[in-house]
């Protein structure tokens, strides 16, 4: 039931008749990411929702290109992130070490949505069809 509700909400977000222009500058994304903490709201790989793997996990994106992962106040891991503008779209790369519990999130993504304290990304190329949605806390 929870999965159906999540898919329904995502469907509504993508089917809105009002078009909201996605900023075409990674500077806006950088400023947005580094302002607050973020929670992984949706994660899908190969058509399977896998957000349960990261329940209760928050991300802090530091302006120096470092990302910290917390559960409450406990630091669980660290990684790196960066953005760029390419092919007229904003791209986002996330990288955790190979021995990290968060390595599944590694990859290069492009921004598909930024509004209402939400960010959505879709994997660039690749065959896994990863999608990530972050919600600002």
What pLDDT, in 10s, does the model give residues 38-86? 999 999 998 899 988 899 999 999 999 999 999 999 999 999 999 999 9
Long-range contacts at 60-63 (CB < 8 A, ≥ 24 apart): 61/33, 61/34, 62/34, 63/30, 63/34
User: How far is the CA of 25 from the CAs of 29, 38, 85, 109, in angstroms?
Assistant: 7, 20, 6, 15
3-state helix, strand, coil in the chain (%, to 5): 20, 45, 35
Phi, psi dihedral angles at 127 (to 5 degrees)? -110, -5
Separation between Cα atoms, residue 61 and residue 35, nearest integer Å: 8
Q: How far is CA 130 from the centre of its chain?
A: 10
Separation between Cα atoms, residue 31 and residue 27, nearest integer Å: 6
Fold of 24-136: Lipocalin (2.40.128)
Q: How far is CA 120 from the centre of its chain?
A: 6
Judge contact between 131 and 43, C-beta under 8 A: yes
Tell me the per-residue pLDDT of 90-101, one tens digit each, with 9 for 90 and over.
999 999 999 899
Separation between Cα atoms, residue 114 and residue 134, nearest integer Å: 10
Tell me the per-residue pLDDT of 107-136, one tens digit each, with 9 for 90 and over.
999 999 999 899 999 999 877 789 999 999
Q: Return the domain boundaries, the chain.
A: 24-136
């Amino acid at each position: 039931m929870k999965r159906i509700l999540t898919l329904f909400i995502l469907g509504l977000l993508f089917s809105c008749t009002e078009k909201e222009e996605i900023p075409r500058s990674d500077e806006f994304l950088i400023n947005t990411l580094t302002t607050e903490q973020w929670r992984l709201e949706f994660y899908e790989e190969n058509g399977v929702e896998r957000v349960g793997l990261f329940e209760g996990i928050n991300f802090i994106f530091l302006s120096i290109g470092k990302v910290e992962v917390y559960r409450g106040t406990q630091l669980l891991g660290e990684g790196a992130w960066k953005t760029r503008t390419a092919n007229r779209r904003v791209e986002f790369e996330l990288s955790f070490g190979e021995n990290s519990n968060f390595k599944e999130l590694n990859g290069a993504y492009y921004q598909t949505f930024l509004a209402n304290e939400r960010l959505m990304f879709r994997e660039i190329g690749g065959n896994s069809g990863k999608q990530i949605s972050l919600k600002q806390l």
